[in-house]
Amino acid sequence: MPVPVYPSGTVRVLLGTEHVSEATRAAVQSRLDAPAAYVPQFLAPDTYALLEAVAARLFPQPDRPTQPIPLAPAVDQRLTEGRADGWRYDALPPDREAYRLGLGGIQEIAQALFQADFMALNPGQQDAVLQALADGHPPGPAWETLAAGRFFEELLAELTETYYAHPLAQEEIGYVGMADLPSWTKIGLNEKDDREVS
């Protein structure tokens, strides 16, 4: 099956057209314009660097060596502001505590498996650490109180939703739903409106 290939800048081109509403443009543009550098406000610098390293394995972006889609800032900003998304697994402590404990726990897994800091491991070893977490029964005292499977699910879901909210990630999967004005007229199988790429 053909994977959609967008000419570079497709979303940026669409954003300049009347197919995008003002509210939509503001939302999408703000993510494109987000500064590359981010100073963490909630997480300590070391913890934030660890979160970035974890995010880089959960969403490897070898295709964007200089400007990866930023994922860790959204987490730090949310924790800073104390925002929630309406629910939490009762099995997990409040988000700030869960992130602090969970990131510490990832270091414990790295130590248990490779006797080294997560940041010092090669990508394959880092993936092994994360797989142990994903499997739900990783080594380390943190995981005696923190539900590993649920923590991993929440971490992965938050990073995933942040990644695919970014217009360049949406471009990557062939989504141009933000350009929905005045309407979609071709909505059936194998149909496309002119502004959709083939």
Partner 1 sequence: MPDEEVLEEGVLSPVQPEIQDPLLRALLADEPAPAPLDIPAEQPQAIPAEADEVDCVVIGLGAGGAPLLARLAMAGLKVVALEAGPWHNPEQDFATDEKAQDFLFWNDERLAAGSDPLAMGKNNSGTGVGGSTLHYTAYTPRPLPDDLHVKRDFGQGEDWPVSYEELEPYYEEVEQFLGISGPTPYPWGPARRKGYALPPLPLNSAAQLMVRGAEKLGIRTSPAANAALSARYYQEGIGWREACTNRGFCQAGCSNGAKASMDVTFIPLAVQHGANIRPNSFVTEIERDARGYVTGVVYIQNGEQKRQCCRHLFLCGGSVETPRLLLLNELALTSGQVGRNLMAHPGVQVWGTFEDMVRPNKGIPGGLISQDTHRPKDADFIGGYLLQSIGVMPVTFAGQVARGRKLWGQPLRDYMRQYNHIAGINILGDCLPHADNFMELAEEKDARGLPKPRLHFTAQENEQRMNAHAEKTMRAIWEAAGATDIWAFQRYAHVIGTARMGKSGDDAVVDANGRAFDVPNLYISDNSTFPSALSVNPALTIMALSLRTADKFLESLK
Q: Is residue 144 near partner 1 by the rule CB under 8 A? A: no
Q: Single out the segment in contact with partner 1 by CB under 8 A; choices: 9-17, 109-117, 137-145, 156-164.
A: 156-164
Decide if 8 contacts 166 (C-beta within 8 A).
no
Out of 44, 64, 116, 120, the only residue in the binding site for partner 1 (CB under 8 A) is 44
Q: Which residue has the tokens 């141009």?
A: 176
* Contacting residue, 34, 113, 119, 134, with partner 1 by CB under 8 A: 134
Give the closest residue to 69 by CA, choosing from 56, 50, 53. Answer: 56
- Note whether 156 binds partner 1 by CB under 8 A: yes
Supply the minimum distance, in Å, between the C-beta of residue 152 and partner 1. 8
Whether the Cβ atoms of residue 106 and residue 129 lie closer than 8 Å to each other: yes
CB of 60 to partner 1, least distance (A): 6
With a CB cutoff of 8 Å and minimum separation 6, the contacts of 48 are 40, 72, 76
CA distance 24 to 101: 36
Work out the burial of residue 55: count CB atoms within 10 Å of its CB; fewer than 13 is exposed, 13-18 middle, 19 or more buried: buried
Residues of the shown chain interacting with partner 1 in the complex, contacts defined by CB under 8 A = 1, 3-4, 20-24, 26-28, 42-44, 47, 57-60, 80-91, 94-97, 100, 127, 130, 134, 153, 156-157, 160-161, 163-165, 170, 172-175, 177-178, 180-185, 187-192, 196
